[in-house]
């Protein structure tokens, strides 16, 4: 895979992007978030300032991950019907699942198949995000050990 393809992948899901705010996101919202973290935590010095910025970045990416998860859920054909059935609580979801089961299939099998497809789609993104968090943690530890921030 070439470097150009790698960089395109980084911005496709946003977990590995070198940019904090992706082109389709609102930069002012990120600036406001960062400012609110600064006002609450009152950083003193470069290391604390970098740590506050990293926290704001992590919160921003966490929000992005939540939105991505919701979008993945909505791509599942049954998502709309499940959301509608869920208005009646778990009983409504159970009734919906029972009525949508194919001949010879159990509710358990139907639910397992739907959950499996959702987990597969979300799993890759979650693993990439976890790796990103681990890398940021390593960088923060190195910065604390040397007294230098990135």
User: Across all residues in the chain, what is the average pLDDT?
Assistant: 74
Note whether residue 80 is domain-resident.
yes
User: Range of 75's domain?
Assistant: 26-146
Note whether residue 86 is domain-resident.
yes
What tokens does 96 get? 């919906």
Instruction: Quote the number of domains for the chain.
Output: 1
Note whether residue 97 is domain-resident.
yes
pLDDT (0 to 100) of residue 18: 62
Note whether residue 11 is domain-resident.
no
Whether the model clears a pTM of 0.85, i.e. scores above it, the answer is no
- What share of the chain in percent tops pLDDT 90? 23
**65-89 burial, b if ≥16 CB within 10 A, otherwise e?**
beebeeebeeeeebeeebeebeeee
Note whether residue 7 is domain-resident.
no
pLDDT exceeds 70 at position 52: yes
Of the pLDDT bands very low, low, confident and very high (cuts 50, 70, 90), residue 142 is: low
Note whether residue 4 is domain-resident.
no
What stretch of H or E contains 51? helix 46-75
């Amino acid at each position: 895979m070439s470097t150009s393809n790698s960089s395109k992948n980084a911005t496709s899901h946003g977990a590995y992007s070198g940019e904090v705010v992706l082109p389709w996101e609102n930069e002012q919202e990120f600036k406001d978030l960062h400012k609110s973290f600064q006002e609450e935590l009152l950083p003193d010095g470069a290391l604390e300032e970098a740590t506050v910025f990293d926290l704001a970045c992590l919160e921003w990416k966490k929000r992005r991950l939540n939105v991505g998860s919701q979008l993945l859920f909505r791509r599942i054909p049954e998502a709309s019907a499940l959301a509608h059935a869920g208005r009646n609580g778990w009983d409504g979801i159970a009734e919906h699942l029972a009525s949508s089961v194919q001949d010879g299939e159990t509710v358990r099998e139907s639910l397992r198949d739907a959950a499996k497809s959702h987990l597969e789609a979300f799993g890759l993104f979650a693993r990439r995000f976890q790796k990103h968090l681990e890398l940021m943690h390593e960088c923060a530890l190195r910065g604390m050990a040397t007294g230098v921030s990135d």
